[in-house]
Every structure is written in structure tokens, then in C-alpha cells.
Amino acid sequence: MAAHPTTRRAGGRHARRLTPYLLIAPAIVLELLIHIIPMLVGVWMSFVQLTQYYIANWSSAPWQGLSAYKVALNFSSPVGDSLLHSFKITCLYTVVVVAISWFFGMSAALVLHRKFRGRGLFRTLFLVPYAMPIYAGIMTWNFMLQRDNGLVNHVLKSLGITDGQTFWLIGGNAFWSMVVIAIWRTWPFAFLMLLAGLQNIPEDVYDAAAVDGAGIWRQIRYITLPALRPVNLVLVLMMFLWTFNDFNTPFVLFGAQPPTSADLVSVHIYGASFVNWNFGFGSAMSVLLLLFLLVVTGAYLLIFNRRSRRA
């Protein structure tokens, strides 16, 4: 017997209400399994003295409360001073990499936005570092930066710039080597995002500005940059978070114990957890890093959203 029309309509409304929840259910389950639950376990680990002696049975690790946080934030102690040094290195690394990557990406996007012969070739060439596997690219740089048989020293010696005996992976040069590699990996993403944003700016606007006598710099300042503001808001935030949490570059380049000048927070936490086998202290530093990034991200979005509403 056919169902009553009223019953069919009620069933259709019920299915429509459930459909959104069914569609997002897999994403919620994966988010819980991959991010939320491991993060909560990490927070719990920061309150227990989880060392190599309790790896086999985590529940037997003694409770230490906020002791790990007090040690990490006591900057007069060697441990706290080492963490503060790592934090300063990470901040400098992030600022330099994000600023130069954005500048390179913006410059290339402005040039390749215009039509000219060979534009497609340059676009493809510039995206190669972004398309290349991360580990393969960094390992190639590692070989190139070797002192005795690296390509960089060979080229610099051939040009008469150095004596070809420069150490690029130890001492103070290690920081700048890491910065160069990070910029090489990051700027193509900035280029791609900004180039996509430029496609949405009508050419008529530039033509009208040119007729009014506006030069290229005035067009960039008063047309391009304001139109790219939403893109830059997201782009800078993403590059900041990726760069501040960068682990692959220093770890593949230097290993688990990088030089002091290249001791980023991410590798510092890894060393505390998997080299010194103090997972409780490593978790405490991870929680502090998470809180710092949440505060910076929240402040960044709050400030720029207010400015956008006023504009």
C-alpha cells in the first residue's frame, strides 16, 4: 500500500535535516581521532613525569602537576634559558622567511600577471620548489651546502667570492642556510596565492588609472594592494603558522640535534621528548607553543578584522 502524502513529506523533511550531519560526520570523527584526542593526551602528559622508565606503562607515571611548566618558564635556569633562546631563534626565522617569501611571491605575481611570451614557462618553473617533495629538496640542499664537495662552495670559490672552505651547516651560517631553504620552499606558495588573487582584479581599473596618469607604483599602492587585502590576510597567517612550526627543514638538514643558531622550537621539543626521553617536559613545551600560537592568531585576526570593518 502506498504511503500517505503527509507521511512522505515528513520523511523528506527528516532526511533533509539529517543529511548535513551525515555529511560532516566523517570529518568530525577524523578530527577527533587525528587532532583533538592526541592533543588532550598531550596536555595530560604535560602533568605527569613521563620518562623512559614509564613508557611501558603510562598510567604508572607519577603526577607532577605544573612542575614541567615552571621549569620551562624559569628563564634563569639552563633549561628555561635554552627554551627562550630557541623561541627567539624561531621568531627571527619566522619573520625573515615570511617577509622575504611574501616579497618574492608578490614581485613574481605582479610580473607574471601581465601577458608576454614565455609567461607559462616561468610560471611552471617558479612552482617547481613547491611541487617537489619536501625531503628530496632539503636533502639536495644538504649536499649542495657541504664544505668539501658542495656545489655552493665550488661556485663561490670559482667566482672568487670565498676560499671555498666555508662551513654552511654549522655555526652561525647554519641559521642563514636554513632561512634560504625555507624561503626557497615557501615563496612559490605565496606567488601562487597572490597570482590567483590578481586574476580577480579587472583590467579596466588599471586602464582607467593609467588614463588618469597613475604610474605603476601608484597602481600597486592604491589598486593592487587594497584588492589583495583578503588574500594577504589568509596568506600571511598560513605562512606564519607553517614557518613557526617548521620541523622538516631543520630536522632533515641537521638531524635531531641542530646547531645552537638553528635550534627551532619544534626541534627543541623533539629533542626533549625523543632524545632526552622526557615526554612530560616535551608535552609541556608543546602546550606552551600551542597557547602562544592561539594568542597570536586570535590577536592577528581581531586586529585585521577591525581594520577591514573600518575600511
Each residue's pLDDT tens digit, 141-188: 999 999 888 999 999 999 988 888 899 998 889 999 999 999 999 999
Residue 278 DSSP symbol? B
Instruction: Provide the b/e sequence for 98-119 (b: ≥16 CB within 10 Å).
Output: bebbbebbbebbbebbeeeeee
Domain total of the chain: 1
Is 272:282 a contact under the CB 8 Å cutoff? Answer: yes
* Beta-carbon contacts of residue 217 (< 8 Å; ≥ 6 apart): none
Report whether pLDDT(1) > 60: no
Cα–Cα distance measured from residue 242 to residue 229, given in angstroms and rounded to the nearest whole number:
20
Cα–Cα distance measured from residue 311 to residue 305, given in angstroms and rounded to the nearest whole number:
10
Distance of CA 264 to the CA centre of its chain: 13
Backbone phi and psi for residue 290, each to the nearest 5 degrees, phi listed first: -60, -45
User: Could you read off the pLDDT of 61-90 as tens digits, one per residue?
Assistant: 888 888 889 988 988 888 889 999 999 999
Cα–Cα distance measured from residue 65 to residue 177, given in angstroms and rounded to the nearest whole number:
40
Within-domain flag for 119: yes
Report whether pLDDT(310) > 70: no
Residue 230 amino acid letter: P
* Beta-carbon contacts of residue 286 (< 8 Å; ≥ 6 apart): 42, 46, 269
CA dihedral 12, 14, 20, 26 (to 10 degrees): -110
Within-domain flag for 27: no
pLDDT given at position 3:
58
Mean per-residue pLDDT, 231-243: 94
Within-domain flag for 33: no
Cα–Cα distance measured from residue 240 to residue 292, given in angstroms and rounded to the nearest whole number:
12
Which range of residues forms the domain containing residue 256? Answer: 78-309
Is 164:175 a contact under the CB 8 Å cutoff? Answer: no
Cα–Cα distance measured from residue 294 to residue 238, given in angstroms and rounded to the nearest whole number:
13
CATH code for the domain in which residue 225 is found:
1.10.3720.10
Instruction: Provide the b/e sequence for 209-231 (b: ≥16 CB within 10 Å).
Output: beeeebeeeebeeebbeeebeeb
User: Could you read off the pLDDT of 103-153 as tens digits, one per residue?
Assistant: 999 999 999 988 888 888 988 888 888 888 889 999 999 999 998 889 999
Within-domain flag for 90: yes
User: Could you read off the pLDDT of 21-65 as tens digits, one per residue?
Assistant: 889 999 999 999 998 999 999 999 999 988 888 888 878 888 888
Backbone phi and psi for residue 51, each to the nearest 5 degrees, phi listed first: -115, -170
Four-residue CA torsion sign, 16, 20, 21, 22: positive
Provide the 10 A C-beta neighbour count for residue 151: 13
Within-domain flag for 44: no
Report whether pLDDT(5) > 80: no
Q: E strand or H helix at 233, and its extent?
A: helix 229-244
Highest mean pLDDT out of 9-13, 47-51, 293-297: 293-297
**Grid-cell match 611570451, residue found:** 117
Residue 106 amino acid letter: M
Residue 62 DSSP symbol? P
pLDDT given at position 216:
87
pLDDT given at position 8:
65
Confidence (pTM):
0.86
pLDDT given at position 32:
93
- In 3-state terms, what secondary structure has residue 63? strand
Within-domain flag for 31: no
Instruction: Provide the b/e sequence for 233-259 (b: ≥16 CB within 10 Å).
Output: bebbbebbebbbbbebbbbbbbeeebb
Within-domain flag for 28: no
Radius of gyration of the chain (CA): 26
Within-domain flag for 49: no
